[in-house]
Structure 1
């Protein structure tokens, strides 16, 4: 991580310690209780809450997205591996609830009712990516279901390859096909899921899909002229017409920086040049200079399209900065982590968050989405690993 001064290292460790206190003393207890749906005896028997009101109370909509259930299965699997006492039991319950979305043909439904009945059987690539990701993490826990979870993750990837693959690379957004532009985002999360499965099993066969997804990133997703990361594409994998084709998200640039580092470490493929181009674009155009907040949207040419700042983009910014490993990474990472703690994880019910800030860095969220905890946990994990790496 370049030359690290004692003061910079101490500041990073201090903000990690603040973040750890929030995570293990406030957030996990809250989401293991209020954030779970069920009975007093089995708090997570009906899975995770979809979202909360701004008062920190379950909103109880009539649906539950499978991606949210999968993300929370990851959260509590991760927490169990960290030794947090209630996490393994919550993960077990979430796993059982998630299985209600498994379809007889090997796909997964995207929407359940609150009680777990299938509400929408559509198979969506974004959801399938998070199912594989969550199963890969859950398979790391000791217990009777770890082997089953890994096998189910592999089977799901096989189903995606058989039923959703496109002849010119990549995969459909969903089945039945909705006719919408092709998207970068679900492919990015599928890449993340495959890396997680390989990280669990160590089997080179589980890394196979990652090579094809990286090729798609090289040839289609990253703009060869600017280094920007496109989001929406036409049937030929060229940028979609109009504003959709111009739209990019700095948070995804930073997320890919981290993913490319992980892919390189697991595969031996050198990705530094591509990651550096992403990092330069996002840093130059996607970060508000005054506040250091990662913006929601800019064009391929770097024009700001949306000045607001979602929480998830700040977490991915932190991961990307730490993965970039430049000499100035520690001060910038400390600043980004402090932004998360002071601007997003404060001024709201304890253990929850403000999900979006407006152009003036004021709260703009209308709810507390459960799905954001995945981004917070992955950001904290990267911060903690960095702090441990410098002796903290």
Structure 2
């Protein structure tokens, strides 16, 4: 399976996304492809610019794509991210046109998290001072204009102010990415605050599950007395906590393991061997659709835990293999190198364009699998 992963990336995926997926004329990365392999003329999210920087960095490190061309695309992508998506406040807008004109100027927290993330990975490849300086400006904006006295940051959407766990997870991810490449204490300050918020507010002390949607006081929003958790995000939080643990030495093993075990027990549709999208905190399924990305996050989390839990390596290796086999079902598209997004409860895959933003999840999972599966 390791060789299958490498072959698929090197032959089908990276050539497509490094050639037709980069706008070599105007700069930056395309938003999506039709399932027949044609770039779509739609607004480009700042998130896509940032995630593709990461994806190409991993492709380079795996030795599966042209390093010179990838470095050039990364620098172009970072320059476009700063030039076309920056706000005077220090924040970043949601999306722009292919010509670089602002489209959706909402500075949603996802956009901020991924701008920080993309610049960290651009800095890892080419440590230009403007990448760090722009990132520091962004964090200062967050603390000056978006910070909450109860911890965390506001999420600004078209619907108004919301309080969400997931953009904080991605902000934590971005802070950890900067911690890995730079010793400025600002990154750890940001990571520590979000980690504390997760451990004290996002994770329900009764069920151990990690809620998604909150009131202003960080109490979970309830529907008929229940709240929703996403198994995919529990895997993702567990993996990111593992990265933080590796950088700081702070032992988060117990909470990570609990998030994984809950998802393994209650977040898998056993007949399909797929991670489902949403579960109630009473551990009953809310939706039995399966998007591709929870399969990716399962791979990353179980491999990481398997390396630490020597007495349970066989079961974690089996879980990783199962998740990778399921993930590959999403890749059976008309044009090779693309993917379906959603496996519906009916058994059919939903027909919709292949988003560039998905590659970040996919190559992240394959990177972990190629590097660490042989060690289990």
CA distance in 1, matches of 2:222, 2:162: 9
**Counterpart among 250, 272, 289 of residue 291 in structure 1:** 272
Q: What is the aligned partner in structure 2 of residue 97 from structure 1? A: 80
CA distance in 2, matches of 1:225, 1:131: 35
Indicate the SS of the match to 2:274: coil
Q: What is the aligned partner in structure 2 of residue 16 from structure 1? A: 2
**Counterpart among 129, 135, 143 of residue 119 in structure 2:** 135
Q: What is the aligned partner in structure 1 of residue 336 from structure 2? A: 350
Q: What is the aligned partner in structure 1 of residue 20 from structure 2? A: 34
Q: What is the aligned partner in structure 1 of residue 47 from structure 2? A: 67
Structure 1 residue 78: Cα displacement: 2.9
Report Cα offsets for 1:184-228 as digits up to 9, x if no partner.
Answer: 000000000000000011444421211111110111111111111
Q: What is the aligned partner in structure 2 of residue 249 from structure 1? A: 230
Cα distance change of structure 1 residues 365 and 202 upon mapping to structure 2, 3 Å threshold: farther
**Counterpart among 157, 160, 165 of residue 142 in structure 2:** 160
CA distance in 2, matches of 1:96, 1:181: 30
Structure 1 residue 178: Cα displacement: 4.6
Indicate the SS of the match to 1:305: strand
Indicate the SS of the match to 1:366: coil
Structure 1 residue 30: Cα displacement: 0.4
Cα distance change of structure 1 residues 151 and 389 upon mapping to structure 2, 3 Å threshold: farther
Report Cα offsets for 1:95-151 as digits up to 9, x if no partner.
Answer: 222121112221111111121111222211111111111110110113xx6332122
Report Cα offsets for 1:57-97 as digits up to 9, x if no partner.
Answer: 12212x21111111112212333344431211111221222
CA distance in 2, matches of 1:332, 1:58: 35
CA distance in 2, matches of 1:258, 1:241: 27
CA distance in 1, matches of 2:186, 2:47: 25
Which blocks of at least 5 consecutive residues in structure 1 are unaligned? 1-14
Structure 1 residue 302: Cα displacement: 1.2
TM-score norm. by structure 2 comes to: 0.92
Deviates more, 1:128-137 or 1:76-85: 76-85
CA distance in 1, matches of 2:188, 2:285: 36
Q: Residues 180-259 of structure 1: matches in 2 within 5 Å?
A: 180-242=161-223, 246-259=227-240
CA contact (8 A) 2:303 2:373 kept: no
CA contact (8 A) 2:50 2:115 kept: yes
Q: What is the aligned partner in structure 1 of residue 57 from structure 2? A: 77
CA distance in 1, matches of 2:180, 2:235: 21
CA contact (8 A) 2:176 2:244 kept: yes
CA contact (8 A) 1:234 1:241 kept: no
Cα distance change of structure 1 residues 268 and 234 upon mapping to structure 2, 3 Å threshold: same
CA contact (8 A) 2:317 2:373 kept: no
CA distance in 1, matches of 2:116, 2:375: 29
CA contact (8 A) 1:54 1:368 kept: yes
CA distance in 2, matches of 1:291, 1:192: 30
CA distance in 2, matches of 1:94, 1:313: 26
CA contact (8 A) 2:62 2:367 kept: no
Q: What is the aligned partner in structure 2 of residue 373 from structure 1? A: 359
Q: What is the aligned partner in structure 2 of residue 336 from structure 1? A: 323
Indicate the SS of the match to 1:174: strand
Deviates more, 1:128-137 or 1:166-175: 166-175
Structure 1 residue 360: Cα displacement: 4.2
Indicate the SS of the match to 1:140: helix
Q: What is the aligned partner in structure 2 of residue 387 from structure 1? A: 373
Indicate the SS of the match to 2:269: coil
Structure 1 residue 321: Cα displacement: 1.1
CA distance in 1, matches of 2:374, 2:120: 24
Cα distance change of structure 1 residues 330 and 294 upon mapping to structure 2, 3 Å threshold: same
CA distance in 1, matches of 2:375, 2:130: 34
- Count residues with an aligned counterpart: 366
